[in-house]
Structures are given as structure tokens and as C-alpha cells.
Amino acid sequence: MTVKIFYEDRIIYNFESMIEKTFCSNGRVGVITRETIFYPEGGGQPCDKGSLDGIEVVDVQETDEGVIHYLGKKNIKIPESGKKVLLSIDRDFREDNSIQHTAQHLLSAILDSNFNIATISFHLGTEYSTIDIETAGLPADFFEGVEVEVNKAIMENRQITVTFAKTISELEGIKLRKKPSVDNDIRIVQIDGYDASPCCGTHAESTGILGVFKILKTEKYKGYTRIYFISGKRSVSDYLTKHEICQNLANSMSCNVLDLEKKVSSLCSQIKFQNQETNRIKRMFAQRVAKDLETMSFRHDERRIVAHYLNDQQIDSDLMNLIAEELMDSGMVSVVLLMNNLDLKLLIVSNYDGVNCGGILREILPKYQGKGGGNNYRAQAVFDDETAMENCFNTISNLIKDLV
Ligand SMILES: [Zn+2]
């Protein structure tokens, strides 16, 4: 089996080893070396990035035969067994993963010891990591308290040690956060004063390097709570980005960053009030236009029809809808046909079964390159060309007169 150098020495980033086995499957070359510094994917942590004799290693998997390094280049000459090769891993990527993974240990340990909440699963992502915890419905201030505790453990710069137990009996006396998944050669990761758990991942040497721990958000997930978090350089980058956004917003609103929330809340209230006022004025305007149009309606038996071109630059389709609504609500009109030249829209509304609005548009629109549709009582269309819309309007207007 491949000797995992990273178990013994976590800061070796280059290492020469001998090829034990190579194979090729579907053009993909896999290499097993006697030793490896590559962490294979597992335990929620992605595999290391890096290269083998300069060729990119794109995937690393642990199998019964050993740790397989899959090479990025396809159809290359398969390296010979017995040949020495240089393994190199991406240091920044490894360090970042180790920091996120250690942050997970601290978070899970504090949830377990302080609140008796178990961690169900862990995923280390490229932007953030998540754990799922065995409870749901915790308030936001609970997580603020957890953040404070994790950051306290980081500031204490606690030492992290890795030990091996040959058998489970050697672990008697150590309070483990979770049970080992193997019975022999158990790797135990301990954070002084906080955590002791069996783990095969990579970790920091002490908690101080984690810098800042931040929970980005929490959400309910399949009866559990999913916690999204970052630490290390990710937190610094997150802070710098968000600080810049807040500062730019504060500058544009001529206020202090700490007053932003109050300022935005006040602006939202103002916008809400102004929208209500605008809607009230629009409604009044629609009522006035509807009254004028009502006087211009023409009668066919008992049914009145309003067909009008709203070529006023202030009337858009929203206002046109309101005008149609007012006309129909008056109870005096059976069919309304309107169009406007602001956004080239046409609207037909009817409460008379003999005029099927959607049916009329379906039949007539293709002749005038209009797009739209609707149901029996209401339909609308939009045009690219004003003349086509006017011609369509005239055709529908004549058709309605025949129908009612
Ligand atoms: Zn771990």
C-alpha cells in the first residue's frame, strides 16, 4: 500500500518517489507510487492539486491497490514501473484546505461539547465549506455565540497534534468526539483543550493560522441545519470585499458605514410610500381617461364597445391595463380594444361570450407579425412595428363590430 507521507509530515510539498504501478483506462493514465504526498479525495475534503514529473495530477483516489494519481494529459507514454518521479503539490491549495478542515473540527467540537449537537456530514468546497448538524430551527443569535467560541479557540492558538493508535484499546482514556471507522492504525487529530477525533484529512499545526472564522449563513436541510462557513484567507478576502461594498454604498448615500442599515431602511420606506402615491395618481389618471373613452364608445344593441388608440407618450401598458380595468368595472362597456404607441402593445378585454379575445388574437396576429395571446376574456399582443399594430387594431376593431 502507498505510504502516505502527509500523515507523518504535513509540510512536505515536493517528494521523489518510485512508480510501483501504472495503467491506462480510456486514455486516462493512473500512477501508483511507493509513497505519496498527495491527499486523496475523502472525508469531505477534495484531493490535493499538483503534478507528477511536471504533468498535472487532476484526481487522486485511494483504492485497495494504493493511492492512484490520475494525470491530466491523455494519450501520453505510460511511465515505467521502477522509475523515480517528482511529486509536487499545490501548497496554497493544501494550506487552504487544511485551514478549512481544521475550522470544521473546531466548529463541530464546540457544537458537540457546549451544546451536545452532533455533526452529520462535512463538505469542503472551493468557496465555502458546510457541515450538517443534527438539529433544526436554531435562532441566529445561537450561531453568533458559536462564532465567538470558535474565534476564541483560534486566538488561543491551540496546538494540533496527530497520533496513531495501533488498536482501539490504545484509545481508552481519550474522549473522542466520534467513533473510529477502522479498528487498527487509527489516526487521531487533537486540538489542545477542544477536540480529539479520528480523521484522515489534512489539518493546520495550530489554530492561530485560521485567522478569522465566519459563518456565512445557515439553512434548514432535510430536517438538519446546514452551516456555511469560511476561515483563513477566505475570511480576509470576504471581509475586504464586503468592507469595500459597504464603504462604497455609504459614500453614495453620504452616511457612515454603521448607519447604512438605518439609511437603507428609511429609503425603502420612502420608496414604498412613493410607489403607493404613484399608483394612486396612476389610478386617478386611468379613471379620467376611462371616463373620456366611455363617452366615445359606440353601441351595438345593448353592448358598448371602446376601441381607441392611446397615442399619448405618458400611457404605457401598465396604465393601459388600468384604463381597461376602469372601463370594464364601470359596467357600461362589454368590449375594450386599446393599443398604445409607447411600448407598442395592444389589449383586448371582453365580458361578452361572443368575443373570444384569445381566439381573435390567435387568428389575426400572425398576419401582422405580432406576438402574444390570452384567454377568452383577456388577451394582449406586442409589435415591433407601429404601422403593423395599427393595421391589426383596425382589423380587430372591424371584426368586433361584426361579432357584437
Ligand atoms: Zn480532520
In the chain, where are the structural domains located? 3-89, 95-245, 277-403
The C-alpha cell at 18 is 518510485
Distance (Å) from CA 96 to ligand 1 centroid: 13
Cα-to-centroid distance, 102 and ligand 1 (Å): 6
The residue-averaged pLDDT of 236-248 equals: 97
* Residue in 4, 12, 202, 180 with CA at minimum distance from that of residue 103: 202
CA separation for the pair 92, 85 (Å, rounded): 22
Q: Is the pLDDT of residue 300 over 70?
A: no
User: How far is ligand 1, taken at its centre, from the CA of residue 383, in Å?
Assistant: 62
- Cα separation, 100 vs 213, whole angstroms: 9
- Interval between CA 318 and ligand 1 midpoint (Å): 58
Cell for 21? 504501478
Q: How far, in Å, is the centroid of ligand 1 from the Cα of 100?
A: 10
Dist. CA 203 → ligand 1 center (Å): 6
204 alpha carbon to ligand 1 midpoint, in Å?
10
Rounded Cα–Cα distance for residues 404 and 164 (Å): 91
Q: Topology of 3-89 in CATH?
A: Elongation Factor Tu (Ef-tu); domain 3 (2.40.30)
Predicted confidence (pLDDT) per residue in 16-61, tens digit: 999 999 988 777 899 999 999 999 999 899 999 999 999 999 999 9
Burial class (CB in 10 A: 0-12, 13-18, 19+), 32: buried
- Grid cell, residue 210, equals 485560521
**Distance (Å) from CA 63 to ligand 1 centroid:** 20
- Judged by DSSP in three states, 178 sits in coil
Taking the centre of ligand 1 as the mean of its atom positions, its distance from the CA of residue 43, in whole angstroms, is 8
d(CA 393, CA 227): 58
Q: How far apart are CA 356 and CA 353, in angstroms?
A: 7
The alpha carbon of 383 is separated from its chain's Cα centroid by a whole number of angstroms, namely 36
Compute the distance from residue 110 Cα to the ligand 1 centre, in Å: 14
Task: Name the nearest CA neighbour of 174 among 157, 204, 156, 195.
Answer: 195
Beta strands in 289-377 (DSSP E): 298-300, 303-310, 335-340, 345-350, 371-374
Residue holding cell 491523455?
Answer: 74
Task: Kindly report the pTM of this predicted structure.
Answer: 0.78
pLDDT in tens, 146-172: 999 999 999 999 999 999 999 988 888
Q: How far is ligand 1, taken at its centre, from the CA of residue 171, in Å?
A: 17
Average pLDDT, the chain: 93
The alpha carbon of 33 and the centre of ligand 1 are apart by a number of angstroms equal to 24
Indicate whether 312 pLDDT > 80: no
pLDDT at 301 over 70: no
Q: How far is the CA of 5 from the centre of ligand 1 (A)?
A: 16
For residues 228-250, average pLDDT: 98
Q: What is the mean pLDDT of residues 385-392?
A: 94
Distance of CA 164 from the midpoint of ligand 1 (Å): 14
Q: Is 27 left (phi over 0), alpha (psi -120 to 50) or beta?
A: left
- Ligand 1 center–CA 202 separation, angstroms: 6
Task: Measure the CA–CA gap between 78 and 67, rounded to whole angstroms.
Answer: 17
**Ligand 1 center from residue 24 Cα (angstroms):** 32
In the CATH scheme, what is the homologous superfamily, with its name and number, of domain 95-245? Answer: Threonyl-trna Synthetase; Chain A, domain 2 (3.30.980.10)
**From ligand 1's centre to the CA of 70, what distance in Å?**
24
Taking only Cα atoms into account, the Rg of the chain, rounded to an integer number of angstroms, comes to 35
For residue 340, the CA-to-ligand 1 centroid distance in Å is 66
CA separation (Å) from 299 to 306, 322, 328, 332, 355?
Answer: 9, 22, 15, 10, 15
CATH number, span 277-403: 3.10.310.30
